[in-house]
Amino acid sequence: MNTKNLRDLLLDQLADMYYAEKQLLKALPKVAKAANHEGLRAAIEDHLDETGAHAQMLEGVFRNLGETPKAKKCHAILGILKEGEEMMDEYKGSPALDAVIIAAAQKVEHYEITTYGCLLEWAMQLDNPSAAAVFEAILDQEKETDTELTKLAREVMHESAAEDAAGGTMAVEEESEDHSTLALSTSR
């Protein structure tokens, strides 16, 4: 008979998320750099700081359970990141690049929300309120990030539609001030 129990499952998924958060720490700086929209870049950079804190909070949960922090390869996050990277390459220089970045980031957030939601539930069932409190705190930040990304998705689309409506006029106005902006506008 398989003797694995709910505590094993919690430890397994904890190790999965520990791996995922560490992968995100590596990937997010590149994603932030690729974003055109300033608010989007700032949101990703803010979430990068939170991601570092999440990894540390998970280390605390391992210790709370009397275990050494251990990462388990998370195929899901690697897949989401790989697909996001491919899409970013395909849309490089396009006006839809920020939408691509937001979609990939939301896929990551939803994966995190699902797993932290399960971890929270299991910690409560195992009567471990301190681990539950950590998972809940992280879960709240992941949900806030997801909400922020939805708002940004609308803003980004709105602004790119406004730019399209303004056409070349906008590019000419910006020419004397900022050549990098012009380069972006004309590449669209």
Q: Which is nearer to Fe ion, 16 or 112 (CB)?
A: 112
Neighbour-count burial for 16-28, b at 16+ CB within 10 Å, e otherwise: bbbbbbbbbeebb
Q: Is 16 in the site for Fe ion (CB under 5 A)?
A: no
Binding to Fe ion by residue 112, rule CB under 5 A?
yes
Contact segment (CB under 5 A) with Fe ion among 81-89, 109-117, 123-131, 157-165 equals: 109-117
Return the number of the residue (64 or 114) whose C-beta is nearest Fe ion. Answer: 114
Contact 62, 70 (CB under 8 A): yes
**Helix ranges (DSSP H) in 5-96:** 6-34, 38-64, 75-90
Q: Which of residues 131-170 bind Fe ion (CB under 5 A)?
A: 142
Whether 48 contacts 25, CB under 8 Å: yes
22 touches Fe ion by CB under 5 A: no
From the CB of 111, what's the least distance to Fe ion, in Å? 9
* Size of residue set near Fe ion by CB under 5 A: 4
Half-sphere exposure of 143 (CA within 13 A, CB side): 10
Residues that bind Fe ion (CB under 5 A): 51, 54, 112, 142
